[in-house]
Amino acid sequence: MEIIPAIDLINAQAVRLSQGDYNRQTTYNENPLEVAQKFESLGIKKLHLVDLDGAKAKRVINEKVLQQIAKNTKLEIEFGGGIKTDEDLQKVFDSGATQAIIGTIAVKNPKLFFKWLEKFGPEKIILGADVKEEKLAVNGWLETSEISIFDFLKTNENQGVKHVICTDISKDGMLGGTSVDLYKKLMAEFPKLNIIASGGVASMEDIQQLEAINCKSVVVGKAIYEGKIKLSELL
């Protein structure tokens, strides 16, 4: 199972939000590069980097942090937040991201998303599906929709999507356990998709539950920063 630690960025600092709420922010480190290098030194291979400023502003803002981490580590970086235009996406890849996470555009402008998928290929693009009660949320979780996650994934799988990061925003940053039942349903419905679990991981037991349902990848954030999970345990 692949463990992908998360760094969320506001004002170029490593932070975490509770349930995507910008008013419930905790700053953990003013130097995200330092955090990334620590992950790498412990044997982590991949990093989940989210531009929360970008998600709110609807354009990429923290590309300099991405550049720093890409230049000073060998980590593979999946980067999301604020990618709304061709220029944003090109900037993210030029700044060193291995993969781009696309959420809002895939919901609001699927034609553009499918163009990117075709241009860059399904290994470079991760579909970001943020979910609350099995419905999609967009724009850094500031809006919820009436679109079912199952209908959404079916449409996107038919267009060639291979990687999906699915975050249950009711769980995210709450350290209350992960949405095992949701991931189980999604994996049964879409056995060919690589579904990356995200949100709510609070303990090694949560990770073991995901492993038990054969989930291949999980993003872990707040549990690491709060010391609920030690990276040495993960390794």
Q: Judge whether 130 counts as a catalytic residue.
A: yes
CB 223 within 8 A of CB 203: yes
Please say whether the beta carbons of 178 and 205 come within 8 A: no
In Å, how far are 33, 80, 119, 163, 187 from 160, measured between CA atoms? 33, 19, 12, 10, 17
Q: Which helix (H) or strand (E) holds 25?
A: strand 21-29
Q: Which is catalytic among the residues 8, 168, 172, 206?
A: 8
Q: How many beta carbons lie within 10 A of that of residue 41, not counting itself?
A: 10
Please, are residues 225 and 171 in contact by the beta-carbon 8 Å criterion?
A: no
Other CB atoms closer than 10 Å to residue 211's CB: what's the count? 12
Is there a catalytic annotation at residue 172? no
Q: Whole-angstrom distance between the N-terminal and C-terminal Cα of the chain?
A: 10
CA nearest neighbour of 232 among 38, 29, 32, 6: 38
Catalytic option among 51, 53, 130, 206: 130
Query: CA-to-CA distance for 200 and 220, rounded, in angstroms?
Result: 8
Active site residues: 8, 130
